[in-house]
Amino acid sequence: MISKRILSFFAAALLSIGITTARPDEGMWLPMLLKQLNEAQMQNKGMKLTADDIYNVNQSSLKDAIVSFGGFCTGEMISAEGLLLTNHHCGYGQVQQHSTVENDYLTEGFWAMNREQELPNPGLTATFIVRMEDVTKQILAGTEAAETEAARESIIQRNISKVGKEATAGTHYSAVIKPFFYGNEYYMYITETFKDVRLVGAPPSSIGKFGGDTDNWMWPRHTGDFSIFRIYAGPNNEPAEYSPDNKPYKPKHHLPISLNGIQEGDFTMVFGFPGRTNEYLTSQAVQEIYEVSNPAKINIRETKLNILDKDMKASDDVRIKYAAKYASIANYWKKWIGENRGIRKANAIAEKQQLEQQFAQWVAADAGRKAKYGNLLSDFEKNYNALEGITISRDYINEAAFGVEIVKLANNFTTLQSMLAQKAPQSDINAQVTKLENYSSGFFKDYHAPSDKKVFAALLDLYYSNIDAKLHPEAFKMVRTKYKGNFEKYADEVFNRSAFASEAGVKKLLADAKQGKNSIANDPAFELANSIAEYYRVNVMPTYTTVNENLNLLYRMYMAGLREMQQDKNFYPDANSTLRVAYGKVEPYKPLDGVQYTYYTTLEGVMEKAASGVAEDYAIPAKLRELYEKKDYGRYGVDGKMPVAFIASNHTTGGNSGSPVINANGQLIGTNFDRNWEGTMSDIVYNPDQVRNISVDVRYMLFIVDKFAGAGHLVEEMTLVTDDTSGLAQVDARKKETEQSSKKDKKKDRKKKKAKAEATAY
């Protein structure tokens, strides 16, 4: 199986352990604070831009080329006509939605050869940042009087609503206000969201997903992980719902693309929307992740992946239905394995404990600090101890119980069942039915009951066997007595009797609900889902909620204390899906004793992997092999070789997928798509010797679009450069060139119309 092959490598790699210290490459920095915190250091590392070139609200800057793609990835503008570049795995869901067995865009790729062929994607958005603002004082106003965390949070939410409404009144903008440093500070992002985003191009999975799960989170990498979309706008170049009349969006800035490539030591900057990090966790929290949570989640997901992998290989229909799901499940499964390995390699728990000892000594040295922070570390310990049995139960409920699709589907009917039981107004019931009809339609498009039945039996058996019986939901007692703990027999019963096992069954439940009839309550899948949800509500959520409320306060105090103790240090806030800048340099690394990785890969490595025999992950298109054999790389190759990917020391995480990698001149040199496996612990602790972000070289993207796909018309839209002029200046020059060309075209059109009118007159 795939998992055994990967894990055999993991086991060997775990032998290497090391301790390192932090350095400036660490950090995900707020764009509006670059001038005061980072500009000098970035320029010392080779950057030729200013902080104003990166973030400016009064004139065009790099920030105007960066978008939050769908709210889960990053994208960048690469043409004056709205072309958007992101990762293949970010656009994977859209490619999958447009794919059928007859038109398998996942396998064959998709390229729009004209604007009319570009495919709409309902629900997909692209969000720009208009400006940022520190609103800490406004948001925290009145919180001093709050007697509880809940009361404080209530005041904050009212303030957030008020400040956001005032900031966007009379505009089509939105406001996003989020806490930073555990609520010690608040920043507001004013955003502009476009809703007409169309698929333009995606390579076949054999390029865009080359290496599959074997290579995921690994280096060396040879994946052309990119896809291309286009943003469309309505009148006045503003956001609009999809319409055939919409025109390509004209961005304030798009990134020029460098053909110069990269060299070791080059400055790099990643600009994007990192999702979530927890860099300031205490040692108890990291220990719980390392010893309890990650091992359980890894085991559950590996079990599910093995089942789906077998079924997907046996059926193209199942493969297409589960392609995106499988990739999503596998992504964090492998990430957690690497994260645990990285925590151990960085000696993270001991490092955290050492910092806490320093903090305790600093507190003890001053009476005022004792009064303020004296009980902080002991309170952390009490609260983490209170999570014993809670964390593991929560993980098994989320990953095992609700990792079964029929259980998750049935759980979504809880509100409707409650409304029917309480005889709510039929109009309210019908409104809920409509929501569930829409949800169910999408669910069953990508659902295969026989596969889910296998997952049901396997995951619930794990839950039953690996968790203390005192932590079992009530339904497990029935399985123990009626089925003697045999979950395969229980699966037979549920899937034979439950309406949730088929689309027809769900449609009947919903039709009954429209008649006021409650057919949900006694359904076996709903009974199981309800039992698990009830256990969570009564036995898990109260403690979990209380402890996390306590921890929020403790971390807010701890964060304030650390910043007070280390006043000479620039602190960066944890990632929270807001726009950030990370910077570093192109740099190799040593993953293991005696192993040295270079900083780039080439197409030759693709061919070497294709010859390795791992057919399912290393298959390649015949056209790509042909181009390689002819060395037909056009202007994108270097010395007879075709660059594919490279690594750098930028601090990234989930959400940075699709982020542009920008050189010292503000030019695009790559698209970030992954981290190396040795560096996945960077969400918790940054190890400078090991952490590397992985990017597809922009020249490989151009080569695939132009030479492989024959979509050179897309390359013609882009601003390609071979000099070191500032990227902003290059785009300004391209804008002037475009404007002059447009004026000439209009002048020609006027002449043609005049000539036609004169001819008609005669």
Q: Select which of 205, 657, 682, 695 is catalytic.
A: 657
Q: Which of 573, 737, 749, 533 is nearest to 29 (CA)?
A: 573
Q: Directed axis angle between helix 426-445 and helix 503-514, to 10°? A: 170
Q: Let me know if 225 is a catalytic residue.
A: yes
Q: Select which of 25, 61, 88, 89 is catalytic.
A: 89
Q: Which residues contact 548 (CB under 8 A, 6 or more apart)?
A: none
For residues 1 and 306, the answer to whether their CB atoms sit within 8 Å is yes
Amino acid identity, residue 668?
A: L
Q: Let me know if 657 is a catalytic residue.
A: yes
Identify the bridge partners of residue 176 per DSSP, sorted by sequence position: 189
Question: CA 387 to CA 287: how far, in whole Å?
Answer: 12
Burial class (CB within 10 angstroms; exposed 0-12, middle 13-18, buried 19+) of 268: buried
Q: Which residues contact 113 (CB under 8 A, 6 or more apart)?
A: 711, 713
Amino acid identity, residue 566?
A: Q
Q: Which of 276, 268, 189, 278 is nearest to 581 (CA)?
A: 268
For residues 311 and 687, the answer to whether their CB atoms sit within 8 Å is no
Q: Which of 360, 373, 269, 355 is nearest to 39 (CA)?
A: 269
Question: CA 120 to CA 45: how far, in whole Å?
Answer: 42
Tokens representing residue 375 in the block: 């009980």
Question: CA 95 to CA 392: how far, in whole Å?
Answer: 36
Tokens representing residue 403 in the block: 């990792």
> In a 3-state reduction of DSSP, which class is residue 131?
strand
Q: Count H helices and E strands in the chain, helices first.
A: 32, 20
Tokens representing residue 407 in the block: 């259980």
Question: CA 591 to CA 124: how far, in whole Å?
Answer: 38
Residue 244 has a CB neighbour count (10 Å cut-off) of 7
Question: CA 679 to CA 684: how far, in whole Å?
Answer: 10
Q: Select which of 25, 64, 196, 225 is catalytic.
A: 225
Tokens representing residue 587 in the block: 């740099």
Q: Please, what's the b/e burial string for 454-476 (b: 16 or more CB within 10 A of its CB; e: otherwise)? A: bbbbbbbbbbbeebeeebbbebb
Tell me if the bond preceding 248 is cis, omega within 30° of 0: no
Q: Let me know if 519 is a catalytic residue.
A: no
Question: CA 673 to CA 701: how far, in whole Å?
Answer: 13
Q: List the catalytic residues.
A: 89, 225, 657
